[in-house]
Structure 1
Amino acid sequence: MTIQPPSTFPQGPIPVQVAFDRRELGVIMSVYGRMVAAGEWRDYGISCLADLAVFSVFRRTAEYPLYRIEKRPKLRHRQGVYSVVGMDGQVLKRGSDLKTVLRPLERKLIRVVE
């Protein structure tokens, strides 16, 4: 009886990951850059999972995220693909248009600059 070494290639289908595309990241990074320039945000993290992609925004690196911008393609026909979630888990805005969903964050930018 011979023992086979474990295969280095996965057996079966490779799970599909949800990710932000270049256009979506451009819109998100535009808001992020303005908030960094205003001194409100300092760090970010991106997570690409099987059912959602998350762009997390931090005031400091070792904290919980202030906001999470989530992309959930399965909700495309219900509430919309994108949502902005606050630190307390409350959904601030949902929809199918990313620029519209990010408006609550831009309102905070207007208050900071004044």
Structure 2
Amino acid sequence: MTDQPDLPQGETRSERQQTSNVVVHLHEYRSGAQDPLPITFHRRELDLILKVYGRMVGEGEWRDYAMDHLRDKAVFSVFKRSGEMPLFRIEKNPKLAAKQGAYSVVNTHGMILKRGHDLQQVLKVFDKLLKVIET
């Protein structure tokens, strides 16, 4: 028994090795149009987001976060508990920059709470969120 994967029917190990020994130069790979670089948050954008995140953690509203840098958008997700669905997603989608604005805040149900061209203005949605008070 080996740790080698099973070969498709009719393929030999020497044929498999010939196809897997291809050298790709990193600069050629990055310059290729087939795999564009992912969208990321810039340092100033992260500073604004983390400022709001720190305030909400201090208030006990949020406890964890995750960042995803995808081909079409960057997403900062915030969680009440790490095992749950995100409470909010702060998204940056450059394709919408000329239309509705690149930044948006989306709640758990997928509803867009605020969208705009200026991240600082979009993040103001967290200043006026109502809290549930149990009696």
Task: List aligned pairs for 1:55-94, cutoff 5 A.
Answer: 55-94=76-115
- The 3-state SS of whatever aligns with 2:129 is helix
The alignment-based identity, stated in percent, is 50
1:5 CA displacement: 3.2
* Whole-angstrom CA distance in 1 between matches of 2:86 and 2:120: 20
Greater length-normalized contact order (CA 8 Å, ≥ 6 residues apart): 1
What is the aligned partner in structure 2 of residue 96 from structure 1? 117
Q: How many residue pairs are counted as aligned between the two chains? A: 111
* Whole-angstrom CA distance in 1 between matches of 2:96 and 2:19: 43
* Whole-angstrom CA distance in 2 between matches of 1:67 and 1:8: 42
* Whole-angstrom CA distance in 2 between matches of 1:5 and 1:81: 40
TM-score, scaled relative to structure 1: 0.87
CA offsets 1:18-61 (integer angstroms, 9 cap, x no match)? 00000000000000000000000000000000000000000000
Structure 2 segments unaligned to the other structure (5+ residues): 1-13
1:6 CA displacement: 3.4
* Whole-angstrom CA distance in 2 between matches of 1:97 and 1:17: 21
* Whole-angstrom CA distance in 2 between matches of 1:92 and 1:32: 17
1:8 CA displacement: 5.3
1:79 CA displacement: 0.4
Structure 1 segments unaligned to the other structure (5+ residues): none
CA offsets 1:47-85 (integer angstroms, 9 cap, x no match)? 000000000000000000000000000111000010000
